[in-house]
């Protein structure tokens, strides 16, 4: 097939390096787009996130196409593809180390009695998955190491291909869980899986020889990116600093995770499961009892560390809490199902004895008072 344009002007379409250049920069653009996603809460998959991904893919592909056409006119243009592959290795390692550490500590899937004290029909599919994963700390930590070990392997030239193979297997499972249990990070997990698959494709020939033939696997073809001893020394220093920064960030995440775990497991004066005995709302300046048929009605409260769950026949409100035992105050932050738009209220509490808790505050738009009794048999 004849080249579409002159080889002197760039890389011809028929060249083996034409499409890999475009693919490498397109995938790099998709990876970079993750940093341009707006934060609406701890969930993802918003239209803006998809728009950022498409922009990243498009800009990256356009840059790859321009690089092909201007290849002969750009000094060192051949370095773009190996540098992009290196960036993708470090990016995927950085991202997956953060997820792995959050499970090793473990904090990503808290073990909440409020979730166990429900039927599956009362939980979202995502909450069902989180309850299952969080039930066993050992299993959660095993999942964390399954993400952490491949991420560490990706950081080093001699082991990154093995890391990409293992990471692909891990991410196939992660993406499957996210899609089948409607977890709101489908887009980003798919981007991470796409990166792992692209890294494998860059070594497709050697992998095919290893898995599907009896021939000896040829050594990888590596071109020296920098020729002078000084530039190679600088490259090694920068590489070492980058690896150190990624590992340092993972270590910092582990330390902050340990503090978060301590908060999750902390015992406060209101910790426990409480049965609602009486609930009143303020209407026209007077306190009126909330009937059982009212959608505002609560029958169970769960306070565990920094988590608070308010459950009734027709509602289930999730929140984080901060207990001030001096002021006898619970600062409650209610969250929507997608962890968006936090609504903060300050509740007052008092305990007539160890088994009775009295609360007053606002539940979304209503001022309420609640008298509770401890469910000691469930503690």
pLDDT at 354: 86
| 350's tokens | 């008092």
Confidence category of residue 14, pLDDT binned at 50, 70, 90: low
The mean pLDDT value for 221-233 works out to 81
How many other C-beta atoms can be found within 10 angstroms of the C-beta atom of residue 13? 13
pLDDT in tens, 88-121: 999 999 999 999 999 999 888 888 877 777 777 7
For 196-227, letters b (16+ CB in 10 Å) and e give bebbeebbeeebeeeeeeeeeeeeeeeeeeee
Task: Give mean pLDDT, residues 35-54.
Answer: 90
Q: Looking at the predicted structure, is the pLDDT value of residue 162 above 80?
A: yes
For the beta carbon of residue 128, count every other beta carbon within 10 angstroms. Answer: 17
Decide if pLDDT at 4 tops 60: no
| pLDDT tens sequence across 229-247 | 888 898 899 999 999 999 9
**Percent of the chain residues topping a pLDDT of 90:** 58
Average pLDDT over every residue of 216-221: 84
Q: Which residues pair with 371 in a beta bridge?
A: 278, 358
Q: What pLDDT does residue 3 have?
A: 35
Q: What is the mean pLDDT of residues 122-147?
A: 90
Beta-sheet pairing, 329-335 with 315-324? antiparallel
What domains appear along the chain, each with residue ranges and CATH number?
76-217+243-264 (no CATH), 272-378 (2.40.128)
Query: For the residues 347-361, what does the mean pLDDT come to?
Result: 92
Residue 7 has pLDDT above 60, yes or no: no
Band of pLDDT at residue 348, cut at 50, 70 and 90: very high
What's 13's DSSP letter? T
Phi first, then psi: give them for residue 29, nearest 5 degrees.
-60, -40
The predicted pLDDT at position 337 comes to 65
Phi, psi (degrees; rounded to nearest 5) at 220: -65, 145
- The pLDDT, as a whole number, for residue 340 is 67
Which residues on neighbouring strands pair with residue 302, listed in sequence order?
Answer: 273, 309
Q: In this model, does residue 85 exceed pLDDT 70?
A: yes
Q: Tokens 């073990």 — which residue?
A: 111
Find, among 30, 9, 32, 28, the residue nearest to 20 by Cα: 28
Mean pLDDT across the stretch 364-370? 91
pLDDT tens sequence across 277-319: 999 999 988 999 999 889 999 999 999 989 999 998 888 888 8
Percentages of the chain per state (helix, strand, coil), in multiples of 5: 50, 20, 30
Distances (CA, A) of 69 to 7, 20, 27, 79, 84: 9, 14, 19, 15, 18
Residue 16 has pLDDT above 80, yes or no: no
Q: Across residues 6-25, what is the average pLDDT?
A: 70
Q: Smallest Cα–Cα separation from 357: which of 288, 289, 293, 300?
A: 300
pLDDT confidence tier of residue 18, bands split at 50, 70 and 90: confident
Burial of 88 (0-12, 13-18, 19+ CB in 10 A): buried
Virtual torsion, Cα 269, 273, 278, 284, nearest 10 deg: 70
């Amino acid at each position: 097939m004849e080249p579409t344009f002159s080889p002197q002007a760039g890389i011809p379409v028929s060249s083996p390096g034409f499409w890999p250049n475009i693919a490498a920069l397109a995938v790099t653009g998709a990876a970079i787009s993750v940093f341009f996603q707006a934060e609406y809460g701890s969930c993802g998959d918003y239209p803006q996130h998809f728009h950022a991904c498409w922009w990243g893919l498009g800009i990256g592909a356009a840059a790859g196409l321009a690089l092909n056409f201007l290849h002969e006119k750009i000094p060192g243009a051949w370095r773009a593809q190996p540098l992009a592959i290196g960036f993708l290795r470090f990016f995927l390692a950085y991202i997956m180390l953060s997820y792995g550490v959050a499970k090793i500590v473990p904090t990503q899937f808290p073990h909440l009695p409020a979730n166990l004290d429900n039927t599956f029909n009362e939980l979202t599919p995502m909450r069902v998955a989180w309850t299952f994963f969080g039930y066993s700390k050992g299993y959660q930590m095993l999942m964390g190491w399954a993400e952490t070990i491949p991420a560490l392997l990706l950081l080093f030239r001699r082991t990154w291909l093995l890391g990409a193979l293992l990471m692909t297997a891990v991410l196939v499972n992660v993406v499957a869980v996210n899609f089948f249990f409607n977890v709101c990070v489908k887009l980003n997990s798919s981007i991470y899986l796409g990166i792992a698959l692209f890294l494998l494709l860059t070594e497709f020939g050697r992998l095919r020889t290893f898995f599907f033939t009896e021939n000896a696997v040829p050594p990888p073809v590596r071109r020296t990116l920098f020729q002078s001893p000084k530039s190679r020394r600088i490259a090694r220093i920068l590489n070492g600093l980058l690896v150190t920064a990624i590992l340092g960030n993972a270590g910092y995440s582990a330390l902050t995770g340990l503090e978060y775990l301590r908060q999750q497991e902390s015992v406060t004066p209101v910790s426990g499961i409480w049965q609602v005995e009486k609930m009143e709302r303020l209407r026209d300046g007077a306190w009126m009892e909330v009937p059982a048929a009212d959608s505002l009605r609560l029958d169970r409260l769960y306070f565990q560390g920094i988590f608070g769950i308010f459950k009734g026949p027709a509602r289930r409100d999730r929140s984080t809490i901060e207990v001030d035992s001096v002021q006898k105050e619970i600062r409650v932050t209610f969250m929507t199902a997608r962890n968006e738009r936090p609504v903060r209220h300050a509740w007052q509490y008092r305990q007539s004895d160890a088994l009775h808790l009295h609360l007053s505050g606002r539940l979304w738009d209503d001022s309420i008072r609640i008298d509770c009794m401890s469910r000691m048999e469930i503690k």
